[in-house]
Amino acid sequence: MESSTAPKRAIDAATIAEAFRLTSSQRADEVAIRTKGGETSWTWADLRERVDRLAGGLHALGLRKGDTIALMLGNRPEFHQADLAAMMVGATPFSIYMTYAPNQIEYVVSDAGATIIITEQQFLENVLEARKSLPDLAHVIVVDGEAVEGTTALADVAEDGFDVEASIAQLGPEDVLTLIYTSGTTGPPKGVELAHRNLLAAVGGIEEIVEFPEGARVISWLPNAHIAERAAHHYLPIVFGFQVTCCPNPRDIISFLPEVRPHWFFAVPRIWEKLKAGLEAMVAGQPDEQREKAQAALAAAVKKVQLEQAGEPVPEELAAAVAQADTEMFAGLRGMLGLDQVVAINVGAAPTPVPVLEFFHAIGLPLSELWGMSETCGGGSVNPPEKIKIGTVGPATPGCELKLAEDGELLIRGGLVMLGYRGLPEKTAETIDPEGWLHTGDIAQIDEDGYVKIVDRKKEIIINAAGKNMSPANIEASLKSASPLIGNAVCIGDAKPYNTALIVLDADFAPAWAAQNGLGEKSLEELAGEDAVRTAIQAGVDAANATLARVEQIKKFVIVEGDWLPGGDELTPTMKLKRKPIAEKYDGDIGGMYTG
């Protein structure tokens, strides 16, 4: 029987703010936030002290319970400090995507009604430009460098004497913890209001699925405005006392893994695709005998995974060969990657090709897909580590329900479902029905074990001229997995006689490939017009087509000049495709594939 005198667990707190007080007290001397190499290292006690002093300063500037405050910060310790300080006051902090232009900053700050923004030097020019159209934005606080005219240095805001404990005692589970602005694929961003109880429900569900060790390590590297980053690398550590290492440049994430050796790692499909391509290239570069042995071991391990997934027996000889390969080869690969201590690794935000998932399972890294939305705190369904079904996003997370509407749309209900969209009661009513079911906009299938397979976004399903329904996202995933040269792809085919594609070269791989193939140092724009590149892309398209039904296959393609960057014309800050703007911008190229 559990002792009644046992310390209260943070997961049992009424609010995330109370959870922070519990964790920072119970783990005072443990490291909470750090940077690579330990250049910066704050214990939970250090963090609490910094948070409390900043909370006092923000309160002195007029921030009160229920107010909003904007954060435009990269992955740095000050983000956690600022977010928590606002939380201690009872205010609602929200993050702005780092790629936002002044007009976009203006929109979300105005929509949220923020009077304070905390930012850093690299974004200050855009923030100050946006401020010209934000008469209510009274304070711009800068966390680094010198404060210019009209701004205040973070160090000058800190102030002692604010009664933090009294402040958080006024907070309740229904109070708004944060706003997550949707990435705006179909219009202006909407502010998703998430309450303290929503995030506690979400992180509690994760705890029931994954057994994290004490002091588990994670890396903060995704945009802070994204719910995946906020839940996985901010709220989860607050509640369970994880150690967070800040990675300021997402391009450096691979180099952070061996140093941190995280216990949980989440990434979008492209990261895993690049890791797979890199490992395969490393194997291919070995001497003949070693290469053949390694490739045979990988093939055997993939075969074992496929048999296990199909529920078929694994021959003893195959199992023994894979076990030997794990000892001699795969364990070393896991250590080299820095993923030898993970208890869970996940991928989400877009479909992941099955061969990518099988590859990582084969080398002893059981990568699994999960599904969630900003509106559901990033949670909803996830494969439990001990029973992963490749090709699905798993069953409902504990504490929520999933079902299908008559048209196949996935519906979700539970404690992690948002309060609603800020200032948009009609949009909220369209999304959450009177019975509490949130209509996700995703078309899905649910098998007999409750495992969910996402087909595609309801509004993005392609219906060709013959009336055939297809998922562009799955076709695009096949293309990207077929060739490392393909960095992005958009399938075109709605109301068309056949499917075509816009293809973007991979900004990292294409220049290296070009140098190896005698094309010298050429830009992506120049490479798009090279015959050798087109031939290589055609080979990738052919390989992808071999995995697709005839009606899904890509008949023609255009290689787009240059790159598509997050937050640009073609991609949202979370790298989702802006399909309508793409169709408009590349109308000429698309039209050309259906004439002549």
**pLDDT of the chain along its 596 residues, tens only?**
444 567 889 889 999 999 999 999 999 999 999 999 989 999 999 999 999 999 999 999 999 999 999 999 999 999 999 999 999 999 999 999 898 889 999 999 999 999 999 999 999 999 999 999 999 999 999 999 899 999 999 999 999 889 999 999 999 999 999 999 986 555 688 999 999 999 999 999 888 888 899 889 999 999 999 898 999 999 999 999 999 999 999 889 999 999 999 999 998 888 888 888 888 888 888 888 888 999 999 999 999 999 999 999 999 999 999 999 999 999 999 999 999 999 999 998 777 888 899 999 999 999 999 999 999 998 999 999 889 999 999 999 998 999 999 999 999 999 999 999 999 999 999 999 999 999 998 889 999 999 999 887 778 888 888 777 788 888 998 898 888 899 899 999 888 889 999 999 988 888 888 888 888 888 889 998 999 999 999 999 999 998 888 888 999 999 999 899 887 888 877 778 888 889 899 999 999 999 86
Q: Topology of domain 10-263, per CATH?
A: Rossmann fold (3.40.50)
Q: Report the pLDDT value the prediction gives residue 466, as an integer from 0 to 100.
A: 77
**Which residues of the chain form CATH 3.40.50.12780?**
10-263, 269-340+342-458
* Residues near 465 by beta carbon (within 8 Å), at least 6 away in sequence: 495, 496, 497
Q: Report the pLDDT value the prediction gives residue 185, as an integer from 0 to 100.
A: 57
Q: Report the pLDDT value the prediction gives residue 341, as an integer from 0 to 100.
A: 96
CA distance 218 to 215: 10
CA distance 305 to 277: 19
Q: Report the pLDDT value the prediction gives residue 23, as an integer from 0 to 100.
A: 97
Q: Topology of domain 269-340+342-458, per CATH?
A: Rossmann fold (3.40.50)
Helix (H) or strand (E) holding 444: strand 438-446
Q: Report the pLDDT value the prediction gives residue 206, as an integer from 0 to 100.
A: 85
Q: Report the pLDDT value the prediction gives residue 596, as an integer from 0 to 100.
A: 63
DSSP 172: -
**Which residues of the chain form CATH 3.30.300.30?**
461-592
- Spatial contact of 490 and 560, defined as CB atoms under 8 Å apart: no
* Residues near 100 by beta carbon (within 8 Å), at least 6 away in sequence: 72, 108, 126, 567, 573
Domain 461-592, CATH: 3.30.300.30
Q: Report the pLDDT value the prediction gives residue 271, as an integer from 0 to 100.
A: 85
